Structure formats: structure tokens, C-alpha cells
Amino acid sequence: MRAVVIAAVIAAGGGCASDRDRDGARPQGVHPSGIAEPGAVGFHGDVLRELDWDFALCQGCHGDDFGGGTSGQSCLDCHAEGPTACDTCHDESEDAHPTHLVTAGIACTECHVVPESWDAEGHILLASGARDDAPAEVVFGPLAARDVEPPRRTAAPAYDPATQTCSGVYCHGGILGDDAATASAPRWDQPGAAACGGCHGEPPADHAATAAGADGGCDACHRGAPHLDGTLDVGNVVAGGGIPVGLDGCIACHGDETSPAPPRSIFGETSPQTLAVGVHRAHLTSSQLRGPVPCATCHVVPTDVRSAGHIDTALPAEVVADIGWDRVTGTCAGYCHGDARPVWSHAGDGEASCGTCHGLPPTGGLHTPDMPISACTTCHPSVDAIGDIVFLTPETSEHLDGDVDLR
């Protein structure tokens, strides 16, 4: 039948004056029945493909512009832009095309080499002139081949026509290597492949699941960060003046531009009466009693945001065992407060003033109950003649350093 149909079309090039009966079929002009019926034997699109897309044969009767020619039958009634226009063969409503082209605004060139004309080599014709049949070749552009900062890509993006599956594409998280992702290598016809959790887990595998806080889950550390822009933004990237910083910046998730310590907690708390904030700042700044207390005194400070024990474990933040932290009462039992157990969230209540860690004067030893504070310097070089702590530099003293200094 293929030979008969092709023969009929070829014969049509010889004249268009009268209807002709081809192989006993009811004719449509010079064409057999089915010429305009998709799926029918003899449909003109199938015939043209078998003729290696020889549009010149059609133009012999329908005109160089396909407007009718000697046949008087215009192809433009059905193909407004002409039979060689892109939309003649390409239906952008199929599979995930609308999602990519309309919803995401991704250009055709990101997945295909877009030909300058219908007969460009590698489109529907090969260099030899023979036809180049479907499926269409996928040649990824810069978006799919993109990496993130810091780099994670280990292989080039790829498409498997047998399974219709993309892999290693940036736009679906194929470079993140997240085991919690549900569709980082999606099928072209897979519904919901671009939903949250497809490219990376909710949360990613190297994040701990945490309860939603003041800003919600992801927004705790990725506040206002542009999505799918090639950068793993961590920080206060918000309207009105944020602090976009790199992955190694502690202030990205807690604290502010002056200090990594709360306030602001990762969920937005700013009140010292909350456990997340408490007296972090009071410890990290100099007081009348001593210089700043390093973060490492109470917490294991990560070298990187992905260090073990940091974001891969659930809140609350871990406190080193030596501190004797009790979250229920909000108190600690570290040496720096003597026998006292000050409440973490009682900022400004005088719980860290002279006389709260040891008596004024202390009991025992050579101390006497009537000893004035000015007498402390007699034995202790870390105190001056009026009882104030002596600072060696604006931020260091020999007080609260673990040694009882004696002259």
C-alpha cells in the first residue's frame, strides 16, 4: 500500500484537472481517501515522511507558498503558518512541554538544537538527504549543565530516550546527590516531577527535620533566597536589607551582621526571655567580670555548615556536657558560675554580678566575714584596690579563667 500511495502522490504532480481513482479508493481530488485524516492509510503527513519530506512535490500543485497554486486548494487553510512551520509537527501541549515552556519559561534551546529552517541538517533530514526520524535528539543547554556554588557536579547531564529519563540535570537537582529527593531523574511523562521534594528532600537528606518556627522550615536558613539560580543561598536574603553570605557564614542562619549569636534565632526569636536567645550576647561581650566567652565553651563549633552534628541533627542545639545544661530548668552548672545555677532566659536580672558565684567575701580559707571588697587585691592580682576586675586587654582578664590567682 505504501508504494501505491506514494505512486498516487507522484502521479498527482502530472496534473490536477480531474479526480482520479487510486487502487479502487474513493478519491479526494487527485488524492486517495484518507489523505486529510490523521491515522488513516494515506494520510498526507505519513506520505510526505515516506517521501523524505519532499515538499517540492506538494508545491508542484499547491504553489510555492502552498496557497493553492494550479490545484486551487490551499494548504494554509489548515496550516496557517505553512506546512513547514514548527507548529505543523510540534504539539507543545504534549507531556511536560507546557510545564517547561509556559510554566517555567524555559526556552526550547535548553533541551534541543533549534534549526534555522525546517530542512536544516539534523532536524528531519540527514546530511545525505534521507529523513531523520523521531525521537527528537536532546542536546542540553547551559541550564541543565549548570553547577551550584560550591560545585557538586560529577557527570554531564544526559537523556535516555528508551526510558525518557533525564539525569544529572541542574534544574531537577540531579547534581545535588540527595538520597531524599523523589524525582531528581524524572521521566518526561512523569506527573508532579517538579513538585517540592523532587529535586531535594523535604528536608534534604543531610538536614535534620525540624518543627516549623516563626519563619517556617526552609525559610529559617534560606530567607528570601532566589530559587534555582545556581547558588545555594543561606542567609537573610530579604527585602529591606539582608545579609547574603556564603555557606561558611554562621550569621547566615542565626545572629546578625555584628555577631553569630542570637538574637535572631534560626526561627526568628529575638527576645532574651526565650531559650533560643537567652543571654548569648551577654556571654559573647565583655562584662565587668571577664572578657567574651568563646562559642566553643558551650557548643561544638562546626567548621562548615554541613559538619557532622550541625544541621544533620534535630534542634535544639547540642550543649557540651561539661556545662551541665538542663533544658527543662534553663540552667547550667559550669564552673564559671560557681555553685549558682543562673537561669539562661533571665537576662538583666543580676544573676551574673559580683557575689553570685562566690560570697563577698567567700567563706573558708583566710577570708573573714567583715573583709571589705577592697581587701581582695591583697591576695588576688586579678582585682584592683576598689574591687574591680583587672583587664589585661580590653577583652581579657585573669578572672574566671579556671585558676584562682594568688600573689
How far is Cα 26 from Cα 395, in angstroms, rounded to an integer? 101
What is the model's pLDDT at position 77?
Answer: 92
What is the model's pLDDT at position 118?
Answer: 92
How far is Cα 385 from Cα 376, in angstroms, rounded to an integer? 8
Written as nine digits, the cell of 227 is: 530559587
**How far are the Cα atoms of 81, 141, 196, 342 from residue 199, in angstroms, in the given order?**
39, 19, 7, 46
Main-chain dihedrals φ then ψ at residue 100, nearest 5 degrees: -75, -45
Contacts of 90 (CB under 8 A, 6+ apart): none
What per-residue string of b and e applies to 152-163 under the rule 16 or more CB within 10 Å gives b? ebeeebebeeee
How far is Cα 359 from Cα 352, in angstroms, rounded to an integer? 13
What is the model's pLDDT at position 271?
Answer: 92
Contacts of 295 (CB under 8 A, 6+ apart): 260, 261, 284, 301
Three-state DSSP state, 199:
coil
How far is Cα 232 from Cα 227, in angstroms, rounded to an integer? 9
What is the model's pLDDT at position 400?
Answer: 82
pTM here is 0.60
What is the model's pLDDT at position 168?
Answer: 95
How far is Cα 264 from Cα 214, in angstroms, rounded to an integer? 11
Q: What is the pLDDT tens value at each position of the chain, 407 positions in all?
A: 444 444 444 444 444 433 434 344 444 567 888 888 988 988 999 999 999 999 999 999 999 999 999 999 999 999 999 999 998 988 777 788 988 988 888 999 999 999 999 999 989 998 888 889 988 899 999 999 999 877 889 999 999 999 999 999 999 999 988 999 999 999 998 877 888 889 998 888 888 765 444 344 777 777 777 777 777 776 654 433 444 444 346 887 888 878 889 998 888 889 999 999 999 998 988 888 888 888 999 999 888 777 888 888 888 889 999 889 999 999 988 888 888 888 999 877 777 888 888 888 888 888 999 999 999 999 999 899 998 888 888 788 888 877 888 88
Q: Are 407 and 381 within 8 A, CB to CB? A: yes
**How far are the Cα atoms of 255, 287, 290, 399 from residue 395, in angstroms, in the given order?**
21, 9, 7, 11
Sort strands 234-236 and 243-245 into parallel, antiparallel or unpaired. Answer: antiparallel
Q: How far apart are the first and last CA of the chain?
A: 113
